[in-house]
Homo-oligomer: A and B are copies of this chain.
């Protein structure tokens, strides 16, 4: 029998406790022995819960109990998650976490400690909730050179964008609905500004390259400036807009970004809707495959944690090679990134046609009825180049006291 402890009895922590109980037999048969939850660390009491008699408030109880071999961290945030996890690893305990902020900020150090102590630091649940994605990268796509990872990695923003797309809602109303349903926090910044997606794509990029990725190096743009008008054009174009976390890897060079991207039906990610996540992985031999499922939620995320517990139990005395080293992975400037660009500009195309062509070359024009604006889709060009011509177009318009570009969305079409 293996004893575990869960730190943090919130949504995910309680899900883990529930799964350890409900799937006890399956877990025992896979882990090779029974897995028992010995402690639950939380500041609160849970007198009516099934773990009432396991609650402890003092981390030292877990740290110092040699019977506890595997510790689950589902507190979130960095403090005290980081010192607690570090102390557990130093004490020779395996750690499993669902905490993407922790992995993105301190993964390199924690992985190194785990290696030194011959234990494991696993974090399948930190990206894609219940979708297996970390483990497929080191267990299934082993012979592949990964060339691209592109994911819809945040269920909250995907729910909002789906509402805007399918029901014509404004960003504000869709956000309110997400908050009412409990999908979005009252302070939704981490989701809607793309920070959550940024940490997740940083983790996936580090897994794919084997090197440390500083998430602050990744260009990150959220969905707050996407409007219902953008989706009116998208509908006419047969496209949609999704918040992507993307990494393109070639010859050791990495371009990574988080941004809303316009895609069409030929993308497998087009039909990833509502709170679901989808992660596309392109290997040099495999081509494109996609992993799809529930990116959040108590039991799906808990299930990913439990899979990590089982892998730790199968490797109690051995560090499973995975993760990344402390070698730094440089991230290319966004200026290098190649896209097409969906642009909305003030005025009528009839009057602006020559200006548009002078600045952007050949474009596809999209016009909606009764709007004092028009839109166009440029050919593919580097983002640095696009910015330059966009500034030149804008300044020319301003010279004539007219409005210029109102919106730009990167497009992969």
Contacts and interface: CB of A to CB of B under 8 A. Distances in A.
B144 A23 contact: yes
Interface string A281-321: 00111111111111001011011101101110000000000
A140 B293 CA distance: 14
A64 interface: no
B140 A307 contact: yes
A130 interface: yes
Nearest to A280: B292
Interface stretch (A86-94, A131-139, A178-186): A131-139
Nearest to A284: B23
A166 to B, nearest CB: 11
Contact of A297 (B136, B287, B310): B287
Given A143-B309, A292-B290, A299 B285 contact: yes
Given A23-B144, A130-B289, 10 more contacts: A26-B143, A27-B143, A135-B136, A139-B311, A143-B303, A143-B307, A285-B303, A288-B294, A290-B292, A291-B292
28 contacts: A19-B143, A19-B285, A22-B284, A22-B285, A26-B145, A130-B285, A132-B141, A135-B140, A139-B140, A142-B307, A142-B310, A143-B303, A143-B307, A143-B310, A268-B292, A271-B271, A285-B300, A286-B294, A286-B304, A287-B293, A287-B294, A287-B297, A287-B299, A287-B300, A288-B293, A289-B293, A289-B294, A290-B292
